[in-house]
Amino acid sequence: MEKASDVRLNNSNPSSKIYLDIVEKLRNMIEVDGLLPGDKISSERELSERLNVGRSSVREALRALELLGLIETRRGEGTFIKDFQEHRLVELLGAFFLQNSKIKEDLIETKQFIEKDCLRIVVQSASNDELELLLHWAQKNWFDDDLFFQKIAELNRNKLIERIWRIVNSYSKASFRADQTVDHKTYIRLIDALLERDEQKVLDIYCQDIRNMSKKD
């Protein structure tokens, strides 16, 4: 039964799909070698040789990662690790699975929950200086709802939640343009409430005045 020719890459997974193994292998390489955005990774032919797989299998893995926005390929130059800040995959996925209204609902709800969490963190741990800087910025600059909550998410010192917000937010933007305009004064009031460290007031303004939620939400 066993074939002695199964030398392949240390295929511990019974995934039976080479390209998935290569994806995992690449992820490991990036992590182990500490590769950073901008760094060049091995060429397709070299990977093919080192992993004992066909070049087409390597390409399938690379193309998948490229579509995800995790790597970038430049003809004649090579393949590079990308800073996955502006993944184009958002529009892609959006175009595919956004007809589904249930997902839309989940997206909206999740975004709002994350935003409330960010507000709770900010109200508890942001410094007065940071908040007053935000206040001045809001008073002197133009901004929309998206930009405002981006600032909130950045103010939050939990970088993980900030990233989750960014992801959820980008998918929200890709799926619908529904951000009703809210008076800038309302956002100012929100910042005031943050400065007062009044969590309940902050959340009330967010839910009722900015997101127009029903009482239950």
- The contact set with DNA (CB under 7 A) reads 8, 14, 16-19, 43-46, 48, 52-57, 59-60, 62, 73-79
- Give 66 or 117: the residue with its C-beta nearer to DNA: 66
Residues 192, 195, 196, CA angle at the centre, nearest 5°? 90
Tokens of 169: 């937010």
- 61-80 residues in contact with a second copy (CB under 8 A) are 61, 63-68, 70
What backbone phi and psi angles, to 5 degrees, belong to 126?
-75, 150
Separation of alpha carbons 71 and 62, rounded Å: 8
Is 23 a residue that touches a second copy (CB under 8 A)?
yes
Assign residue 38 a region (left: φ > 0; alpha: ψ between -120 and 50; beta: otherwise): left
Instruction: Determine if residue 126 is left, alpha or beta; phi over 0 gives left, psi from -120 to 50 gives alpha, anything else beta.
Output: beta
In the complex, minimum distance from the CB of residue 179 to a second copy, in angstroms, rounded to a whole number = 18
CB of 154 to a second copy, least distance (A): 14
Residues that bind a second copy in the complex, under the rule CB under 8 A: 19-20, 23, 27, 30-31, 34, 36, 56, 59-61, 63-68, 70, 84-85, 87, 89-90, 92-93, 95-103, 105-107, 109-110, 113, 116-117, 120-121, 124, 158-161, 163-164, 167-168, 171, 216-217
